[in-house]
A and B are shown apart, each in its own frame.
Chain A
């Protein structure tokens, strides 16, 4: 009993003292924002047919269905062409900024609004990939997903270094101590104004009003409390609550990924084609899922290989949730699943579905691997910049290259044991 108590105490301390998995949440954020951004850019020429005024799923039909199921979409606020273009543009912009991690918490809300607005406008256009993006967009709102690999993290790191220098110089630290953030409050006011307009138009249901106003007020509260007493009790309490919410959302994201694989696997076990080892053969012969018929024919012509892939798929999907208890086995299965999704992207012609699934898988990647990945990315970026700016910049450039390295050491201790 006593042991249980101390275990519980340590667990509570862990989930209330740190926002776990900074690299994992960051990679999920980047993955989903990039997937949705690429999808929106790819569908740019078809956007009117998919979600806009020219859609065969007309605005009026969408309204009738939504009156029945109460789904959220900003596109129902007006049937105008300009409004549609504005919403689409905002969806593109918010996913790009969320990917970069600029004002991450705000962008995650706008990203969710963009995803829900477009998808709920024309629900019969989507597939499994859209479904994953839809769910994760909601969960990401509750995570602190910009702790690393974001413009926010870079800004925070700079702000931390600035006062340290000033203290050394023995200058009065009152005014310049905190670089005054003007963009944040402006963004907050603008979005508050927008929310007020939408509220008075009466377009939002009670639940959504609570969500959006709640998020808006909490943003303001956090800012105000931080201004008055950055080390005060109120700020600490808020911080603990935010971390708890982050960790809960991270858990939900992980469970969601497990549910996807578990259901996909368990239902397959019951199918005769998955039992007789021919299941994989059939999708390769469907006209809608065979963009490379020669390749599909080649794969479909080897009976033994079809059976191995069929059995392997089921085994991996059913087993995956249980392998989370063993780090090494989990990593092997994770690699297998990411590889299978990459293959599906090409062979079944489902690139965005596959990207979304890989982004979801990424929540289980080990911190060490992610940090190495970040190192490679930083080096690649440095090399790229060096090529562009060679000969033009002198000493300034070295400082720029050194920055990612410093950032990653700062986060070295915030690992997540997965």
Chain B
């Protein structure tokens, strides 16, 4: 639902071995490495070898000199027209496919959805429902806590870290927010929610992947915030989301609940693969 997310490649339809679509089915010949055409080529009428218009019969004095396909020899003209038709058809089909891809579900997409998906995925996927049909009206914060086994062999549980609030603080006053602050956790949570049912049961491969993804982000972020200490390890993590309604505008008489809603996930065990390589996860650069 959220505004600025594209779901690039998110929708899974595995094209049944179909070749990757390209903007045009044929490969149109570009100019040689780095070469640009001389601008004179680009001026209609400047093509050498065309009959000058001034020598034309008086009946058609204004007939412009011909260029492009018309200036080719008859044999080449056939090839030129063939190229024209191929390129025109490819462009039209592409534009049509894009239209059907971004349009709402309709008669055509219901019947030929697979063909459209085969053409569009994975490289031409797009979603332009920017803040539409309605903008997000809730702040969703992802929070996490960890169970740490210390060097002495005792367990302790950390408090809840509001990782989204940390993102928000990093974005505040920032002219150039990083994707790691603005998109990483936010979109990972969207991915998780979209790939699980309300009972937190994963749906297929994506469900599993999204779970691993959130866990790895949380481990990385908690390590960054928490002095885990030498010899200590993060054993388990727990994640919850805290959803708060944006209060309605002051001029509105709408009433929405201001009570946050929590969605708490079970504790997850942390495997060695979840740890960042070499634990080199000190705060980076301008993270805050």
Interface residues of chain A, those whose CB is within 8 Å of chain B, are: 9, 12-19, 22, 42-43, 45-46, 49-50, 53-54, 56-58, 61, 64-65, 68-72, 102-107, 116, 119-120, 123-131, 134-135, 138-139, 141-142, 144, 146-147, 150, 152-153, 156, 160, 183-185, 187-188, 205-208, 210-211, 214-215, 218-223, 226, 231, 233-234, 236-245, 248-249, 251-252, 255-256, 259-260, 263-264, 267-268, 270-274, 278-283, 285-293, 300-301, 303, 306, 346, 349-351, 353, 410-411, 413-414
Which of B73, B76, B128 lies at the interface centre, i.e. has the most chain A CB atoms within 10 A of its CB? B128
Beyond A184-B35, A287-B139, A351-B175, whether A264 also contacts B246 by CB under 8 A is no
Contact B29 A293 (CB under 8 A): no
| Option from A45, A105, A214 in Cβ contact (under 8 Å) with B33 | A105
Q: How distant is the Cα of A205 from the Cα of B15 in the complex, in angstroms?
A: 13
Beyond A42-B178, A131-B127, A291-B172, whether A219 also contacts B83 by CB under 8 A is no
**Residues of chain B within 8 A of A279, CB atoms compared:** 131, 134-135
**Residues of chain A within 8 A of B48, CB atoms compared:** 231
Contact B29 A142 (CB under 8 A): no
Closest to A357 in B: B130
Beyond A237-B72, A291-B177, A410-B39, whether A245 also contacts B29 by CB under 8 A is yes
Contact A152 B34 (CB under 8 A): yes
Q: Which of B21-38 contact A (CB under 8 A)?
A: 21-24, 26-38
**Residues of chain A within 8 A of B151, CB atoms compared:** none
Q: How distant is the Cα of A208 from the Cα of B22 in the complex, in angstroms?
A: 8
B264 at the interface (CB under 8 A from A): no
| Option from A124, A183, A287 in Cβ contact (under 8 Å) with B187 | A124
| Option from A49, A65, A233, A243 in Cβ contact (under 8 Å) with B76 | A233
Q: How distant is the Cα of A264 from the Cα of B164 in the complex, in angstroms?
A: 27
Q: How distant is the Cα of A124 from the Cα of B6 in the complex, in angstroms?
A: 9
Contact A153 B36 (CB under 8 A): yes
Spot the interface stretch: B91-99, B108-116, B233-241.
B91-99
| 5 pairs from A and B in contact (CB 8 Å cutoff) | A12-B84, A18-B67, A105-B34, A138-B23, A205-B20
Give 1 or 0 for each of B153-197: 1 = CB within 8 Å of chain A CB.
000000000001101100111111111101110111001000000
Closest to A81 in B: B277
A157: min CB distance to chain B, Å: 8
Beyond A242-B30, A278-B249, whether A350 also contacts B90 by CB under 8 A is no
Contact A46 B284 (CB under 8 A): yes
**Residues of chain A within 8 A of B29, CB atoms compared:** 218, 221-222, 238, 241-242, 245
Counted as pairs of residues, one from A and one from B, with CB atoms less than 8 Å apart, the total is: 420
Beyond A13-B44, A222-B29, A274-B134, whether A123 also contacts B98 by CB under 8 A is no
Contact A351 B37 (CB under 8 A): no
Contact B42 A147 (CB under 8 A): yes
B66 at the interface (CB under 8 A from A): yes
Q: How distant is the Cα of A119 from the Cα of B124 in the complex, in angstroms?
A: 13
The interface residues of chain A, by DSSP majority, are classed as: helix
Which of B94, B103, B141, B174 lies at the interface centre, i.e. has the most chain A CB atoms within 10 A of its CB? B94
Can you name 9 extra interface pairs (CB under 8 A) apart from A13-B44, A142-B23? A49-B184, A64-B205, A68-B14, A69-B12, A135-B124, A147-B42, A226-B35, A240-B69, A291-B173
**Residues of chain B within 8 A of A221, CB atoms compared:** 29
Q: Which of B244-268 contact A (CB under 8 A)?
A: 246-252
B202 at the interface (CB under 8 A from A): no
B32: min CB distance to chain A, Å: 4
Contact B28 A242 (CB under 8 A): yes
**Residues of chain B within 8 A of A153, CB atoms compared:** 36
Contact B191 A124 (CB under 8 A): yes
Interface residues of chain B, those whose CB is within 8 Å of chain A, are: 3-6, 8-10, 12-15, 18-24, 26-39, 41-44, 47-49, 66-73, 75-76, 79-80, 83-84, 87-88, 90-91, 94-95, 98-99, 102-103, 121-137, 139, 141, 164-165, 167-168, 171-180, 182-184, 186-188, 191, 205-206, 209, 212-213, 216-217, 220, 246-252, 273, 276-277, 280-281, 284-286
Closest to B44 in A: A17
Contact A259 B179 (CB under 8 A): no
Beyond A237-B76, A283-B136, whether A69 also contacts B121 by CB under 8 A is yes
**Residues of chain A within 8 A of B130, CB atoms compared:** 128, 264
**Residues of chain A within 8 A of B43, CB atoms compared:** 18, 413-414
Contact A187 B95 (CB under 8 A): no
Closest to A220 in B: B32
Contact A222 B35 (CB under 8 A): yes
Nearest 6 A/B pairs, CB to CB: A103-B34, A245-B28, A45-B285, A214-B27, A207-B19, A16-B68
| Option from B133, B184, B247, B252 in Cβ contact (under 8 Å) with A125 | B184
Closest to A53 in B: B277
| Option from A49, A130, A259 in Cβ contact (under 8 Å) with B8 | A130
A301: min CB distance to chain B, Å: 7
| Option from A15, A46, A57 in Cβ contact (under 8 Å) with B178 | A46
